[in-house]
Chain A
Amino acid sequence: MKPGNFQIGEPMPPAPPSANAAAFSPADLSARRAASRRLGWWLGAAVLAIYLLGLLIPR
């Protein structure tokens, strides 16, 4: 990467294939936050699973 290869503002070039053209609209932001919450719960469940794994250590 060239870390500085960014530009701001208009005129906006065509969005790259991976980009969402409607980014940062309220709808897009709420969709991104919903996806984040879902992934957050999964990660939290993984943390809990690792924690509880200790109960299975034979002793």
Chain B
Amino acid sequence: MNTATTTQPTPHDAGHYPGGLMRWLTTTNHKDIGTMYLTFSLIMFFVGGLMILAVRAELFQPGLQLMQPEFFNQLIGVHALVMIFAALMPAATGFANWMLPLMIGAPDMALPRLNNWGFWLLPPAAILLTLPFTLALFGIGDGAIATGWTFYAPLSVQGGMGVDFAILAVHILGISSIMGSINIIVTIFNMRAPGMTMMKLPLFAWGWLITAFLLIATLPVLAGAVTMLLTDRHFGTHFFDAAGGGDPILFQHLFWFFGHPEVYILLLPVWGLMPHVLATFSRKPTYGYKAQVYSFIAIGLLSVVVWAHHFFTAGLPVPALFYFMFSTMAISLPLAVLFFCWIATMWKGAMSFETPMLFAVVFIVLFGIAGLTGLILADVAADAQYHHSYFVVAHFHYALFAGGIMGVMTGVYYWLPKWTGHMYSEKLGKLHFWLTVISFNLTFMPQFFLGLAGMPRRIPDYALQFAEFNAMSTVGAFILGLSQLIFAWNIWCCVRGGPKVDGRVWEGAEGLEWELSSPPPHHSWETQPVIK
């Protein structure tokens, strides 16, 4: 693992910041805020995970075992909202906060107070999201949002108080994400070290730059849609109410104008991270830097013009069906370029398989399955059969768990020694990896077959012929959930102590971030880095 290190002088590390709780409440340091984002994300990952374990327990056998359908629907909806908005997005923002200034040679994020504010909006939003659901456990109120994460009208117009809580939470989460995005864009544009031109920017920064622009472009549309929903519910408007001259399909257009780019918002930071990990453990420069940058840009642009493939069955005009089918399939072209570059980076490399590399290699395989099954769903004729089935559930979990969450795990194992100054347990890391990969496939692979056999999603009970695959899926989900305790324990132990590491944690690691000590000094770059 490790070779020489160059440490930065740290004249201002004399602890002139507040200690204890005040440090975390008032901090403007990008590393502290990154740590808070990542901790929050891990906590919410377990909260969202517990919800879906209850769902999987209910689905272990046909018939209603543990809960009523209304509560089942609430668990499904809040699980998705928590995992997307409170687990995966904050994890990516945590990575950006921690690593962008280190990678581009900046002393901190450009707007540090905005950064603090952006984070501290998250906990109240998470409380808003989960409070009605928690109160319902004690028989108070009519429970949380039960529409799924999509808020589809007219169900959401008629839903209970939980919809209002979720609308408010989504507004706050959106404001937080927009603040983070503005900060990331201006940091990348204005705070780069001298000599770091845009085409020398690390790919992780490129991935995040496109992500931030997508957030800026699409989150206001989601905010507008849910505001209109709120006025439909309480102020007598009829945007989405057919009886009043409105159009429920309009909501689907507005929601998915945000919702589809959101998939890439969750994935682009991971796609930016992967080339770094693959290059490090292949001990080669990344292959096709420019091709990857242009692919990121192409995917970002295409992602905002393909939204209607999420509701092919809603009765769109035929020319629109063809347009959205072909434009969706076009995304596979730049994505294929990325896959090619990732594989070519490993080609003839001196590869070693530490935990981050194991996750990165499996990411390519499993995310490949997500991509290929996505092509099936992009086909209008095939989608007519698979829409709203478990095939879709399996597809987007291969995309967002294998592609998103496993990507985050890759980043955590890759950068944790840099953040803490300690090496995590490789033995526990590999145990976590194998348990996660096996149980993930045990959970979600059967769901493809369930979907192909016709099992609809979002139902608490099902026909007898689906029983075996559902039982397998539930066993897999519980192993998957329990194996994440190993992940949390490994992180905890690494934060608390462990073998010391140098600045360049991994032998093959290259980039500005590895020139700093591990952990980096409180003020990251006091002496300007020089880029050749």
Contact = CB atoms under 8 A, between A and B. Distances in A.
Nearest to A48: B220
Given A18-B197, A40-B183, A3 B190 contact: no
Contacts of B201: 1
B391 to A, nearest CB: 33
Nearest to A25: B528
Given A3-B202, A7-B530, A29 B223 contact: no
A23 interface: yes
Contact of A24 (B223, B228, B526): B526
Contact of B530 (A12, A33, A52): A12
Residues of B in contact with A, size category = 35 or more
A36 B186 contact: yes
B515 A6 contact: yes
A6 B529 contact: yes
Contact of A47 (B193, B220, B531): B220
Given A1-B199, A46-B216, A59-B239, A40 B194 contact: no
A57 B195 CA distance: 46
A8 B217 contact: no
Interface string B521-532: 000011111111
Interface in A40-58: 40, 43-44, 46-48, 50-54, 57
B90 to A, nearest CB: 19
B219 A47 contact: yes
B3 interface: no
A24 B190 contact: no
A37 B195 CA distance: 22
Contacts of A13: 530, 532
Interface residues of A, number: 39
Interface stretch (B106-114, B318-326, B369-377, B481-489): B106-114
B190 A35 contact: yes
27 contacts: A1-B201, A2-B285, A2-B510, A3-B286, A5-B200, A6-B531, A7-B532, A8-B515, A16-B197, A18-B194, A23-B194, A24-B527, A24-B528, A32-B191, A36-B187, A37-B186, A40-B110, A40-B183, A43-B216, A44-B178, A50-B220, A51-B224, A51-B227, A54-B221, A54-B228, A57-B239, A59-B238
Given A5-B532, A7-B532, 16 more contacts: A3-B202, A3-B279, A3-B510, A5-B531, A6-B511, A13-B530, A15-B195, A16-B197, A23-B194, A24-B527, A37-B111, A40-B111, A40-B114, A44-B178, A50-B224, A52-B224
Q: Which 7 pairs show the lowest CB-CB distances between chains A and B?
A: A4-B510, A19-B194, A54-B224, A36-B110, A36-B186, A50-B220, A51-B220
Interface of B: 6, 8, 107, 110-111, 114, 178, 181-183, 185-187, 189-191, 193-195, 197, 199-203, 216-217, 219-221, 223-225, 227-228, 238-239, 245-247, 250, 254, 275-276, 279, 285-286, 289, 509-512, 515, 525-532
Interface of A: 1-9, 12-13, 15-16, 18-21, 23-24, 29, 32-33, 35-37, 39-40, 43-44, 46-48, 50-54, 57, 59
